């Protein structure tokens, strides 16, 4: 085994993202050499040549090793050239992996910094939207209406919850409110912009069949008022009155799949210029 270096080794981690992975790789490799003392310093979000110059100012050739994960070709080439010029050891932690993957997939890497971070952010936005849809489903807490990107309103069995969850998977925060003649809508519904409210309606005869199936699933009697044509028409008329008061757009979901209804909702938002955030 080689002797331990007399001077404390300095490891500079340079990354166009956070650099946490590069630091862990460095520590794993260094652990194989029985080094008792070394100093790791991480430089994150490096995407410009000027940043490289600043970092190299603190590097001393004889006691510094640079390990980097850079995908921006111009910045990477500059770092390699400068470390060679200054006789500083530099190790590209990405190049061999990228070369193998390039050969395997037959395509060039996109060369965009921070892609893992962006993917993580996208994932957490989706989780947040799903949790929001669950929390503010079926009018559970009207305070969520002001926080929502889109508010869905409609009578029972008009796909409010499936649409809320589908849109949540597109990173959109959706709250929904059931409209029932015997229950006054929450005051918060009248305090949000009509641009983000979408009314859902349906064909009464299609709804009878849907509600009958729901009654069976609940183990109730067929003659329940919930599935009667008189009750359904009463509910639809009440909902129509509320939607007209709110001046919100209305879509008929009776013959549409959830995906199709969601697409129409988003198109309505685009047409009126309402920005629903991260949706593309």
Quick one: how far is CA 222 from the chain centroid?
43
> CA-CA distance, 155 to 215, in Å (whole number)?
16
DSSP 47: -
> CA-CA distance, 33 to 31, in Å (whole number)?
6
155 belongs to an annotated ligand binding site: yes
180, 225 Cβ separation under 8 angstroms: no
13 belongs to an annotated ligand binding site: no
Q: Which DSSP string do the residues of 83-128 spell out, in sequence order?
A: HHHTT-EEEESSHHHHHHHHHHHTS-----TTHHHHHHHHHHHHHH
- To which residue do tokens 């004889």 refer? 62
The H helix count followed by the E strand count for the chain is: 9, 8
Could you tell me how many residues make up the chain?
280
201 belongs to an annotated ligand binding site: no
70, 15 Cβ separation under 8 angstroms: yes
156 belongs to an annotated ligand binding site: yes
List b or e across 169-187, with b for residues whose CB sees 16 or more CB atoms inside 10 angstroms.
ebbbbbbbbbbeeeeebee
157 belongs to an annotated ligand binding site: yes
160 belongs to an annotated ligand binding site: yes
State the binding site for ADP.
154-161
State the binding site.
154-161
């Amino acid at each position: 085994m080689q002797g331990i270096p007399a001077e404390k080794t300095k490891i500079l981690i340079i990354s166009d993202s956070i650099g946490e992975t590069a630091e862990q790789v460095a520590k794993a490799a260094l652990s194989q050499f029985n080094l008792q003392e070394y100093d790791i310093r991480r430089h994150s979000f490096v995407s410009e040549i000027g940043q490289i110059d600043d970092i190299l100012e603190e590097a001393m050739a004889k006691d510094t090793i640079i390990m980097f994960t850079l995908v921006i070709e111009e910045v990477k080439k500059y770092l390699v050239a400068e470390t060679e010029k200054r006789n500083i050891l530099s190790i590209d932690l990405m190049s061999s992996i990228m070369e193998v993957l390039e050969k395997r997939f037959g395509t060039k890497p996109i060369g965009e910094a921070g892609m893992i971070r962006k993917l993580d952010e996208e994932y957490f936005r989706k989780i947040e939207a799903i949790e929001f849809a669950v929390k503010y489903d079926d009018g559970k807490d009207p305070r969520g209406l002001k926080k929502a990107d889109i508010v869905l309103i409609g009578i029972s069995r008009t796909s409010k919850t499936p649409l809320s969850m589908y849109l949540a998977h597109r990173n959109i925060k959706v709250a929904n409110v059931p409209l029932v003649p015997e229950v006054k809508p929450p005051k918060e519904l009248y305090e949000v912009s009509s641009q983000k409210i979408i009314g859902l309606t349906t064909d009464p005869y299609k709804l009878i069949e849907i509600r009958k199936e729901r009654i069976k699933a609940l183990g109730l009697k067929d003659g329940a008022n919930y599935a009667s044509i008189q009750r359904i028409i009463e509910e639809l008329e009440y909902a129509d009155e509320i939607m007209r008061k709110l001046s919100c757009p209305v879509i008929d979901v009776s013959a549409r799949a959830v995906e199709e209804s969601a697409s129409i909702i988003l198109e309505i938002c685009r047409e009126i210029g309402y920005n629903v955030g991260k949706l593309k």
